[in-house]
Chains A and B, each alone.
Chain A
Amino acid sequence: MSEQTTYNERLTAKLDGIFAGGQQKYHEKLKETNKLFVRDRLELLFDNGEYEEDGRFANCEAGDLPADGVVTAMGKVNGQMVCVMANDSTIKAGSWGSRTVEKIIRIQEVAEKNQVPMLYLVDSAGARITDQLEMFPGRRGAGRIFHNQVRMSGMIPQICLLFGPSAAGGAYIPAFCDIVIMVDGNASMYLGSPRMAEKVIGEKVSLEEMGGARMHCSVSGCGDVLVTTEEEAISEARRYLTYFPASFADKPAVINPVQPKEGRTLEAIIPENQNAPFDMYEAIDQLIDEGSFFEIKKLFAQELITGLARMDGQAVGIIANQPKAKGGVLFIDSADKAAKFINLCDAFSIPLLFLADVPGFMIGTKVERAGIIRHGAKLISAMSSATVPKISVVVRKAYGAGLYAMCGPAFEPDVCIALPTAQIAVMGPEAAVNAVYSNKIEAIEDSKERIQFVKEKHDEYKKEIDIYKLASEMIVDEIVAPSDLRTVITKRLAYYDSKQILMPYRKHPVYPV
């Protein structure tokens, strides 16, 4: 046997150990819980399953810590190079030692230097407490991972796929990503485990209730997309990336146009009665290329719809009120949801389309105590400072601050289009007549006379806010038949492609929070 083969054999033996991951019993546990081994996840994620790895031999001298529990790699997704860190939960439950952290920091640095998307495949119990001094507090400790995430936010897309736990400090990885895809039943996020909650504050609660994927995607808003399998999580991440450029310096690709889904016309979908509910999803289907909708936060704050789509092959971010849920009224959660989505699209040059059918922000003690005004300010601030093309469509009503939140004329939409059903006002006719004439209405004793008076005042008010009057005053720029709306928007999206706005010179705004 030649010497060459001997040293190659040693290398092969080392590599075999690294590729095998943790002990067999942990691999079996993965199977029992419908989870994939980290290297199988990466094969599914990358084009042709091909990737180049860094720090593969990290901690190989320790014997039982192959790759130190994390795979960091480069490879292509949809032909675009991306960087990935992926926890290996078969090794000490995916916990972080000092080399784990260093590897994650280094792959982030690769992503930043090359200006390519960074993906985090998270499945980790958190810090290895035995290694805390080396991995937790220092300059290149775990905090640096989050510092890098914040630094790269808006520079390159950052995506989190949550396959298992993301515990304690580690829970900030998803928090600083643009989007978090969570596997139902397996993914979880929490600062303190249920066991800790019971010991420290006396609360008895299950993991699923306190930090499960479904809870985060529907209640807390920490999750964006809930999926049922890991395969689905990976294919959704690949699909999500098709809407994005590699970095803020580029624009999203335009792909082949597709006709909208066959269905009823917008004229048939949108009721003229401003107070009657309808399903905004059905209207969106008539505007976008069939099959192109990528919804974000579908289960959270359903009174407002946010999602990526394509119109004639062009990427667009849609923010639409949903009259079918909570009357399309804006709440605290819907304001947060829209603010983050607008920031996301604006960072990566995805034009925004607002579909307004909104009675306003919710009123009452509950929302005032929760600070609906400052939450609404977040949405208005994000929308107002977005410099991508902004197309505002007033579908039906746009009352009060609802008009502002949905990119009304004062917020420099590139165009404000009204459908003939549009109604723009400080408040709706019923509320307005009540506000102005309530004493007078109460003073009329004859009920027939009272109804007659109210009706007259309604009609007067409606005339005052007639959409043609607003168009005549150049408050709205255009009135379009619903069936022409898709064509008008797609043309304008292409025309506004070269839009550029320089922001006033300053460090940054004092963001409302």
Chain B
Amino acid sequence: MGEIKASMAGTVFRVEVKEGDAVTAGQTVIVLESMKMEIPIDAEVSGAVAEVKVNEGDFVNEEDVLVVLA
């Protein structure tokens, strides 16, 4: 069980995983857009995606949970 959080405030630009997907540590799961930059958010640990908490276009704050791993 792990939570993948936003490293900074921004808008969700791309969601690269869906529920049930297996992810490995270091894999990009979400790309945020902030300060006109693409900000890849990577999984810190491996696991299966239990829940994707955001949609493309959502505004997120730093530390908001984006993806929950089982």
Contact = CB atoms under 8 A, between A and B. Distances in A.
Interface string B28-44: 00000011111110000
Contacts of A364: 9
Interface residues of B, number: 12
B62 A327 contact: no
A327 B34 contact: yes
A362 interface: yes
A325 B28 CA distance: 12
A431 B34 CA distance: 12
A277 B7 contact: no
B38 A359 contact: no
Contact of A276 (B38, B61, B62): B38
B8 A362 contact: yes
A351 interface: no
Q: Is the interface of A mostly helix, strand, loop or mixed?
A: loop
Contacts of B39: 277, 326-327
Nearest to A273: B38
28 contacts: A275-B36, A276-B38, A277-B37, A277-B39, A323-B37, A324-B40, A325-B7, A326-B34, A326-B39, A327-B8, A327-B37, A327-B38, A327-B39, A328-B37, A329-B8, A329-B35, A331-B8, A359-B35, A359-B36, A359-B37, A360-B35, A362-B8, A363-B35, A364-B9, A366-B61, A366-B62, A428-B36, A431-B36
A325 B58 CA distance: 20
Interface string A431-468: 10000000000000000000000000000000000000
B9 A329 contact: no
Nearest to A276: B38
Interface in B14-50: 34-40
A328 B61 CA distance: 17
A272 interface: no
Interface residues of A, number: 20
B40 to A, nearest CB: 6
B17 to A, nearest CB: 18
Interface of A: 275-277, 323-329, 331, 359-360, 362-364, 366, 428, 430-431
Given A276-B38, A327-B35, A363-B35, 18 more contacts: A275-B37, A275-B38, A277-B37, A277-B39, A323-B37, A324-B40, A325-B7, A326-B7, A326-B8, A326-B34, A327-B8, A329-B8, A329-B35, A329-B37, A359-B37, A360-B35, A366-B9, A431-B36
A430 B36 contact: yes
A427 B39 CA distance: 18
Contacts of A366: 9, 61-62
A329 B61 CA distance: 15
Contacts of A363: 35
Nearest to B31: A277
B35 to A, nearest CB: 5
Nearest to B32: A327
What are the 7 closest A-B residue pairs judged by CB atoms, nearest first? A327-B37, A359-B35, A326-B8, A327-B39, A329-B35, A428-B36, A326-B7
A274 to B, nearest CB: 8
A428 B34 CA distance: 13
A430 B34 CA distance: 12
Contacts of B8: 326-327, 329, 331, 362
A131 to B, nearest CB: 45
> Which of A276, A328, A329 counts the most B-chain CB atoms under 10 A from its CB?
A329
Nearest to B8: A326
A415 to B, nearest CB: 27
Contacts of B61: 366
